[in-house]
Amino acid sequence: MSRIGYIRVSTEHQETARQQEIMCDYQVDRIFSEKISGANKDRPQLKAMPDYVREGDTLYIESISRPGRSTKDLLNIIDTLTEKGVTLISHKENIDTDTPTGKFMLTVFVALSQLEREQLKQQQREGIEIAKAQGKYTGRKPIEIDRTRFGQLYGEWKPKSITGRDFMRRMGLSANTFYRRVREYEIRHGIAEPTSA
């Protein structure tokens, strides 16, 4: 019987350290880890994990949102694990599918989690519609940056004279915007190839 861990964060720039610590506490034997949105159904590690686990194994996750974002997707994963005789333990929700109560609670938590996401999306849509009707919503404005300054700091950052954090702070950019602008800069200056669609 093996202890397996599954770790996921939504983007390349998010850290997995907290989830790694949880897996260490559970003393897992093998970890499947990836940095990819939960909305993306093409997740290599999530696909590889069910093929790896065997009857009697236990799969540990930080929370039910890690393997699946929708009730349907998560329940499909759980069905696959159940058919293989694998127990699922979710740290955050304190769920253990080896018990009838755990199985029931998992279904409830998943449904509530999806309901919460759908309600949040609906509230955002309604807020945008109200703002549009009042003439207050114009969409997100692109962040204007000083290209000369960006180029100078890029020249310091690339050889590691300054850290990425310093670069972001001095340009006033978030991590996501920073890495997107770096990619655009590198493509524009022939440093990186554009990715194909």
Q: Which residues are the active-site residues?
A: 10
CA distance 88 to 48: 16
CA distance 50 to 46: 7
Structure tokens at 18: 């907290």
CA distance 29 to 17: 17
Do residues 32 and 6 lie in contact, with contact meaning Cβ atoms separated by under 8 Å?
yes
For residue 103, which of 135, 81, 70, 121 has the smallest C-alpha distance? Answer: 81
Q: How far is CA 79 from CA 99, 179, 187, 194, in A?
A: 15, 38, 44, 40
